[in-house]
């Protein structure tokens, strides 16, 4: 048989090219697999580099946080960590529990509340699912700082202090911040170490929502649950506050369930407050000297709502644009004073209230008391103000002459 060498040569070259192509494709696929594996390794290493591991000390904890970049999350393994100084945060870095179990950052070895001071280094940070013992956070000038699903307990009160000479006993304090949020947290104070929960000062767009303050017993030793001195657009909603009534006998540690003053734009809604006494030092809610206030749909047990306009001690020498509506106030017994229901008092003679509306509240055994001699009825009634459609049942309706009222029964 005659062989065509030219055709054979072309056939051999084609076979080599095909084989070479197969090898090239195989190499490419292998390289692709290695790249994927390398990416996975990089991700795993990145996660590993940002995990606070059980048994780490404070220096190691801070080193892990320092290794994270803005937008990243540092995860905390379960365990109890001895905290002897400041947890150094970074802007945009979040601190989150790694499992369903809250890790505990324990500063109970300190003789007083361990104070951690932050500024913009807490901006855009989320602290979630961490338990803090004897730790106080003071956050100034930050933006978008969030605490959620955290537990605060075992805070120690400074020796020989009371509600007036120690105003630094809140676990969380925000000052000059924007978009701070505290949600779904649990706050506890124990016997001999009464204190506050959250305090917002000169803030904008603050939210304190769906938190629990005390259990009415062993963890309910609160001076005040929430203090609000917000600048604008503050929301206190859906919180449950249960104070131990044993504290009622200690006037120096009794200062209202929610205490708001010098505010501009504040909503207090859907909260349940129990355990504060019906006295000038108590009250489930006290609001004084501010504007644009809405107190609505709260359930208040043992004491009610106190509205005040004082002549001094505030940048707001007035109380205006106030709505108190659809609240339920449950009193142990009726009394014809301003402390057993909804009361308003003004000692300021230089300025006036404006548009105070008290409507659709249920006080089956309480009182509505608006009797201060300095009240200007015309200004009280302005823009829909007045006292309307409240269920007082066996309580008292005591109003200064001239205040608009109807439908109360």
**Residue tagged 């604008």 (tokens):** 232
Specify if 253 maps to a domain.
yes
What are 181's two structure tokens? 């949020």
* Residue 320 CB neighbour total at 10 angstroms: 21
| 3 state SS of 327 | coil
Pairing relationship of beta strands 386-388 and 258-261 according to DSSP bridges: unpaired
Specify if 273 maps to a domain.
yes
Alpha-carbon gap, residue 311 to 63, rounded angstroms: 51
Specify if 39 maps to a domain.
no
332 DSSP 8-state letter:
S
What are 55's two structure tokens? 């048994």
pLDDT given for residue 206 in this prediction: 98
**Structural domain for 232, as ranges:** 74-406
Specify if 29 maps to a domain.
no
pLDDT 10s digits, 311-360:
876 778 899 999 999 999 999 998 999 999 999 999 888 888 999 999 99
* Residue 263 CB neighbour total at 10 angstroms: 24
**Residue tagged 């017994």 (tokens):** 333
pLDDT 10s digits, 239-269:
999 999 999 999 999 999 999 999 999 999 9
Number of domains in the chain: 1
Specify if 249 maps to a domain.
yes
Question: pLDDT higher for 198 or 29?
Answer: 198
Specify if 64 maps to a domain.
no
Using CA atoms, how far residue 149 sits from 56, 221, 293, 362, in Å, is: 22, 21, 28, 33
Specify if 233 maps to a domain.
yes
Alpha-carbon gap, residue 372 to 377, rounded angstroms: 10
CATH code of 324's domain:
2.160.20.10
Contact partners, residue 394, CB within 8 Å, separation at least 6: 334, 364, 365
Specify if 387 maps to a domain.
yes
pLDDT given for residue 256 in this prediction: 98
Q: Is the dihedral of CA 30, 36, 42, 48 positive or negative?
A: negative
Alpha-carbon gap, residue 123 to 127, rounded angstroms: 11
204 DSSP 8-state letter:
B
| 3 state SS of 14 | helix
Alpha-carbon gap, residue 306 to 329, rounded angstroms: 12
* Residue 91 CB neighbour total at 10 angstroms: 16
Alpha-carbon gap, residue 265 to 220, rounded angstroms: 29
pLDDT given for residue 315 in this prediction: 78
Using CA atoms, how far residue 218 sits from 153, 189, 211, 241, 333, in Å, is: 11, 8, 17, 13, 26
pLDDT given for residue 49 in this prediction: 66
pLDDT 10s digits, 283-313:
999 999 999 999 999 999 999 999 999 887 6
């Amino acid at each position: 048989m005659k062989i065509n060498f030219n055709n054979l040569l072309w056939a051999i070259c084609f076979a080599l090219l095909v084989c070479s192509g197969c090898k090239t494709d195989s190499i490419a696929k292998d390289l692709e697999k290695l790249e994927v594996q390398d990416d996975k390794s990089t991700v795993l290493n990145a996660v590993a580099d940002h995990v606070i591991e059980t048994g780490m000390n404070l220096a190691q904890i801070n080193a892990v946080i320092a290794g994270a970049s803005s937008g990243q999350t540092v995860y905390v393994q379960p365990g109890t960590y001895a905290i002897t100084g400041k947890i150094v945060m970074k802007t945009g870095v979040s601190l989150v529990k790694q499992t369903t179990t809250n890790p505990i950052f324990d500063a109970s070895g300190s003789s007083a509340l361990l104070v951690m001071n932050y500024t913009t280094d807490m901006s855009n940070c989320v602290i979630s699912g961490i338990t803090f013992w004897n730790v106080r956070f003071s956050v100034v000038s930050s933006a978008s700082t969030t605490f959620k699903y955290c537990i605060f307990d075992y805070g120690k009160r400074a020796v020989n202090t009371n509600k007036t000479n120690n105003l630094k006993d809140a676990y969380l304090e925000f000052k000059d911040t924007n978009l701070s949020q505290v949600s779904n947290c649990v706050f506890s104070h124990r016997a001999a170490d009464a204190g506050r929960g959250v305090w917002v000062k000169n803030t904008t767009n603050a939210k304190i929502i769906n938190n629990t303050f005390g259990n009415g017993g062993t963890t309910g030793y609160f001076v005040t649950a929430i203090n609000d001195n917000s600048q604008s657009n503050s929301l206190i909603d859906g919180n449950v506050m249960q104070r131990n009534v044993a504290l009622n006998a200690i006037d120096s540690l009794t200062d209202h369930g929610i205490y708001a003053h010098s505010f501009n734009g504040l909503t207090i809604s859907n909260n349940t407050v129990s355990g504060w006494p019906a006295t000038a030092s108590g009250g489930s809610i006290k609001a004084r000297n501010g504007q644009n206030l809405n107190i609505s749909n709260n359930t208040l047990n043992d004491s009610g709502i106190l509205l005040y306009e004082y002549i001094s001690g505030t940048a707001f020498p007035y109380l205006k644009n106030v709505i108190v509506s659809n609240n339920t106030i449950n009193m142990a017994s009726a009394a014809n004073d301003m402390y057993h229901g909804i009361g308003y008092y003004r000692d300021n003679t230089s300025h006036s209230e404006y548009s105070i509306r008290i409507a659709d509240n249920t006080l089956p055994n309480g009182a509505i008391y608006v009797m201060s001699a300095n009240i200007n009825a015309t200004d009280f009634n302005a823009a829909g103000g007045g006292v309307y459609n409240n269920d007082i049942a066996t309580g008292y309706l005591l109003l200064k002459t001239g205040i608009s009222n109807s439908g109360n029964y």
